[in-house]
Amino acid sequence: MTGLLWALVAIVAILVAVVVTALGWGVWTVRRMDGQPATQTTRSDAPDDARRLLEAARAEAQTLLDQAHQQAEQEAGEIRASARRSGERELAHLTASVEGRAADLDRRQRRLDERERWYAEETERLADRERRVSASEKELSAQREALAAEQASLDEAVDKQRHELERVAGLTAEAARAELVATVESQAKREAALLVRDIESEARRTGEQRARHIIVDAIQRVASEQTTESVISVLHLPSDEMKGRIIGREGRNIRAFESVTGVNLLVDDSPEAVLLSCFDPVRREVGRITLEKLVTDGRIHPHRIEEAFDDAQHEVADLCRRAAEDALVEVGIVDLHPDLVDLLGRLRYRTSYGQNVLKHLVESAHIAGVMAAELGLDSAQTRVVKRAAFLHDIGKALTHEVEGSHAQIGADLARRYGESEQVVHAIEAHHHEVTPQTIEAVLTQAADACSGGRPGARREGLEAYVKRLERIEEIAAGKPGVEKVFAMQAGREIRVMVHPDQVDDIGAAVLARDVAKQVEEELTYPGQIRVTVVRELRATETAR
């Protein structure tokens, strides 16, 4: 493009020179036509100047044209070199692409060749297998024919033998068969009677052991928490100054609190703490939360106490319902009446002999379900058993409001809210107030006893514990030859020291067995008690 521009510039320069020359000639001609005298110098110089300008313009145009040609040739060379390089790169790219495609085609061709070889080998193996199968079928056909021939000969021989036996015995085959069946039937009845007697004896011997194994397995597979029964809650205060604000002027606040919540508030000398006392655990928890809200807020007066009490009631109701829903999810019950769910939630704060009642229901349901599965009951019966065990103590939520035993109250509640008769009967019969008539009721009783009677489930009173230890020591100390008795490990081991000159080694073993047997017969205790008799003989001499 630059060369073309230079060429255009040269042409324009030539045209300018021609125009200038023409203009010079035109001026000279005009002057001559106007009669103006022309000097000799003007007439002679004008064509020469024009000629020189024309020659100069031509020379310059030629120069520019040459430069334009050179520039054009240079640019054309560069364009050709660039095109050559671009072509070489494109050719190299196309060559590499063609080589890659060729390599890909080679790989595909190799895979196709391998697949064809594999197909050929598989075809050959299948043909070989078909040949073997055909040979086996032919062999089986031959064996079948041989067996058919042997069966025919055996049938013929059996017929001949039967006819011969009928001729010798004088009985037909039907009569002989009837006599044989009668003999076998009589013998089978006798053996069956003996077998039934043996089975019954074995069942009596192993039934109790099997029942114990089932109960122990059910208890071992269930683990639950243990709580301590209490009628007092402790609330810690940020400072002792808060006690005065809780009491109020002339005891106004504390009287208002007790009248609204129904909980006794004890403000004693305990540093930074007050006691809340009430036999109703739900009411005591509402009172505790109410006082906690008042202490946190700092405003304590009768109107604020009523507001905090209302908030605490709603909060405790939510906590109870959430606890009941969690228990239902844990035991797998989803279709319980909402009113029964609310009553179950109230058992979250109820304890019996130190055992949380709601946890006891969950544990009983699990134990009952395991025992039902061990006994081979179907899924429907297992669900009924778990439901009855889970609801058997529902009446304890209303024992302080409704007269009667909790079993009867629970049965009335279950019947009122649409529970099945099997569940209602199991609830009312779990404490033998009604004679159990179904397997669900029996398993509910067993699960309740297992959950409440297992070691660690319920707290033993201090007085009963001390009496048990004293009685253990009395039993061992009353045996002849006993020197000292030590009850160790909270009563789980008895260490008996005997006089070596009064009790020998065999007597020590007999003494240990007698003590263990008497303790087992007279006392009730969790777990096991180990009896160890120690007989130590010391010989001492003095060297003089």
pLDDT score recorded for residue 38: 43
User: Residues with Cβ < 8 Å from 11, sequence gap 6 or more?
Assistant: 61
Q: What gap in Å lies between CA 441 and CA 250, rounded to an integer?
A: 57
Q: Where are the domains of the chain?
A: 2-161, 232-453, 462-535
pLDDT score recorded for residue 93: 87
Amino acid (1-letter code) at residue 366: H
Q: What gap in Å lies between CA 215 and CA 461, rounded to an integer?
A: 26
pLDDT score recorded for residue 227: 42
Q: What gap in Å lies between CA 510 and CA 516, rounded to an integer?
A: 10
Tens digits of per-residue pLDDT, 330-381? 888 888 888 888 888 888 877 776 678 888 888 888 888 888 888 888 888 8
CA distances from 329 to 323, 325, 366, 447 (A): 10, 6, 12, 19
Give the CATH fold of the 232-453 domain: Hypothetical protein af1432 (1.10.3210)
Q: Is this prediction's pTM over 0.85?
A: no
The CATH class of the 462-535 domain is: alpha beta
Measured CA angle at 374 (ends 372, 375), to 5 deg: 65
Residue numbers in the chain where pLDDT is lower than 70 = 1-14, 16-47, 50, 169-171, 173, 186, 189-190, 193, 197, 204-205, 207-232, 269-270, 353-354, 399-400, 453-463, 465, 490, 526-527, 544
pLDDT score recorded for residue 170: 67
Q: What gap in Å lies between CA 427 and CA 410, rounded to an integer?
A: 7
Distance of alpha carbon 165 from its chain centroid, rounded?
74
* Residue 276, strand partner residues: 233, 265
Closest CA to 512 of 534, 484, 490: 534
pLDDT score recorded for residue 286: 85
